[in-house]
Amino acid sequence: MAEIDRMLLASEEWARRFPGSKPVRPARAVAIVACMDSRMPLFGLLGLDVGDAHVIRNAGGVITEDTIRSLTISQHLLGTREIVLVHHTECGLQATDDIAFADLVEQATGRRPPWAARAFTDVDDDVRESVRLIQESPYLLSKEVRGTVYDVETGHLREVV
């Protein structure tokens, strides 16, 4: 059975237990920007229920133009005011650099990506850079942002100051 088929079956089970509709505005007025890493169970990790928060995930949890776009919509249209960044240890973006990644993509596809992968070596520095990019954005109503790092080996979350 294909993984997508397993997911479709799981969605039927979910629908049987579905808690009902929630308002479109996140109940806790918070947006989370996190890495797409499958080892990060954000809802359990942060004590969230369905409808509590907006969750924006991408490779590395980095702040890109599209992340700012999503946060701007989240704040202006849907009332969020706090932002939590969740990066993590052993991130795949720490295993490459922007040039090597672009070379890899170009070699495999014949096309060089027009965007940077935003690879990094130090996760704490990358969290601080992400905080800075949010705080400097002219589009956000609230610059209330805090950055964290999730340890994939221990399950602990620590704040980066």
Q: List pLDDT tens digits, range 1-12.
A: 899 999 999 999
Residue 3 forms part of a structural domain: no
pLDDT value at residue 154: 98
Among 6, 50, 3, CA closest to 27? 50
Residue 139 forms part of a structural domain: yes
Residue 30 forms part of a structural domain: yes
pTM for this entry: 0.93
Query: By residue range, what is the domain housing residue 142?
Result: 26-160
pLDDT value at residue 31: 98
Residue 82 forms part of a structural domain: yes
